[in-house]
Amino acid sequence: MQAVIKPELIEKELIANLSFSNAETVQQHPDLLNQIEQATILGNSHHSKVSIIFHDDTGLKRVDTTIWAAGTKFICLKGGVWIPIARILEVKI
């Protein structure tokens, strides 16, 4: 039986200090791109926060924030903070 790893809750402002240098692949939610699209719409129209579960080089993290924009490789959070989509496991709306 596989142990469930609880993500470390961090503040959005700390994401800029995280490292995403290794080429680690993560098991992503099958509907991740749709989750990102819906969260971006909510962020822009209602300023609604979502929970983003992602993996940096040291482990599993969670941040509760607003997604302002999404590209093909990164999402942009409020305040100009970027997370690579390849390292996102799930976005909980």
Residue ranges of the domains in the chain? Answer: 8-92
Q: Is residue 90 within 8 Å of residue 83, measured between CB atoms?
A: no
What 3-state DSSP class applies to 19? coil
Query: Does CATH place domain 8-92 in 2.30.30?
Result: yes
pLDDT at 24: 76
The answer to whether the pTM exceeds 0.85 is yes
CA 40 – CA 34 distance, rounded (Å): 10
Q: Which residues of the chain have pLDDT under 70?
A: 1-3
> What confidence score (pLDDT) does residue 78 get?
83
| CA 9 – CA 40 distance, rounded (Å) | 21
pLDDT of residue 20: 94
pLDDT of residue 23: 78
Amino acid identity of 86?
A: A
pLDDT, residue 1, reads 57
